[in-house]
Structure 1
Amino acid sequence: MMMHKLTRFPSGKFPQQLLTGDPIIDAYLKSLDLELAGSKKVRADTLQEVSEHLLDHKAKLEKQGQHEDSAAHQAVSSFGEVAMHGREQRRELSRSFFKKFFIMGSGFATLMFFIQGFSNEGLVSEWRVWAVMFAFNFLLFGALMSFWSTFMLAGDRSDSSWSSANKAETELKVYSGRSSKWAAIFLVIVMSALSGLFLAGLLGYGLMQNTWIGASLLLVIVGIRNALAALTAWTRYRLSPSSFYICSVWGKTEIPRSQITDIRRLPIWMSLVRISMGWQYLLCWCDDNGQKKQKVVAINDEMKHSNQLLAVLNDDVIVNKSNTPAES
């Protein structure tokens, strides 16, 4: 419970701008807010989604002839207990916290381990010193960064207007949230610094000039590769009723959905070879001249609506294959 209160720092008060004017729904939202973890902005995102759902359900019940208070009571009752939804939100944030804690902590600790190990002082250090420094960097940096990005930084709101019921008439946008972009910025800075440090060593300058040439060259390549791969956070996909758009820092591609012939996930080892982050999917289509084209699409779990995008693209492949006449 102490950890729950700590995550609500610096303001544990209910966001007054979320009041709906309905006393029954407002009382439910205030009770739910007490069960939620995270900063005021993080909690406001969850409360906003719940508020929209309750008001929509209430409006439907009123159209069916129910009284306003009765409709509000039924909408709140059918949504479930606040304690249950609070546990679900805290559990989801906790999973995200520990995932980021391991990734960020281990990444930073490993980077510092290499820098220390390849320096002149590091070569003569005892293994106990290395172990203590690795644990310190892992725990401190991992805890601070994961806590901030999970409980303090609010993510982008999902586009609740898109659903399978109206996907034929509306657009689907797939993108990375603010927390993912902040993490990518950090990765670009750290990996660029790592490459620059060991590149200077290869040229005979700086702290790493006495490092083994092979190790320095490897770390320069790894740093550049990871810095460029982090730019995947700025890749956006847009699915319109007729076309699939790929927008990245490298350019923009438009693919007619009616011409998509296949999409399949590439082997995991190709994720290490190609400069991008996430699962690699090979998208195949034919242009207006009948020429076959293909493009690798990187999709990761941090992207909003990534699952819906894959489902729609797979549906397009099935529909297009069924509409293609069999070759005699």
Structure 2
Amino acid sequence: MDETKYENEPNGEGGAAQPFTTVLGAVLRTTRVKNGSGLREVGRAIDKHPAIVSNWELGSRTPLSEDVAGVLGALNVVGEDKTRIRNLAAVTTPGVVVTGRQDVPHYLATLIDCEAQAAQVTVWEPLLVPELLWEEDYARETLLAVGHAPERAARLADLQTDRRHLREQPLPITAYLGETALTSRAASDQAMCSQLRSLAQLNTSADEQVTVRVVPFSKITLHPGLASPWAIYSMEKRAIVYLGHVESGTFVDDQDRHYSRAADQLANKALSKEESTKALLSFAAKHALNQLEDRDGPPLASSLAEWTRR
């Protein structure tokens, strides 16, 4: 076995971890854990010290492509997962763009692997409910609304809603959503009612570590980090930012702390957890009333400002 100290392993740019290294490490660790193999077992199979393998998984060191191939062989990884992970290992740019036309999209599989290793996730979604908290009907209808074919929308909805149930331990999530998410017409009133009630239940559940907070329109400033949805995945060694697209996902570093500062702003401007729960339940009730009355228009209260006046 190679007993070289792991501090001397090559690591890209002068030893500084890169975003792709952290993502690749999280994927390798999740794959090994799923396989039921230990660090020593993998190290013996590829003739590397277990500490070296551990540092690859933590994103502290960058494995060579042949090292990744050896790990995949030791873990008997084949098919699309093998292709996806080897593609990650070939990345040399600071950010990682992962595409997703596969049956199980590579960007989603990579995201799920990162979630398995994250200690905390902070999500901002200005227009919709964050994907990480989707219910099945809301997921399917929203995916149809953004242009997916019915069969693919149903498949992706199943994958998205299974995400929270794949983890052995609850993942601490702080989700900020713009008030448009409460009145959006991307989904039916029935799906909206069920989704908003689910968010309120997560907010009050002792078994879940989820905090959902609503951000009023009037509180959203022109901060560059608030222009589009994002999620910050806090890993053991560093944080990675995920930017979702229709058929791909981008993993980047929080350069200049744009996203961290945006999260700080949201924490200061959002409704409290308790007030957010009340708003979620109130708008869920209004969607339910719309459904009973078979209305095609917006909910009875069209904004948080109107809701608070009532």
TM-score range, shorter chain: under 0.3
Q: Which has the higher contact order (CA 8 A, sep 6+)?
A: 2
Larger radius of gyration: 1
Relative to total residues, which structure has the larger helix share, 1 or 2?
A: 1
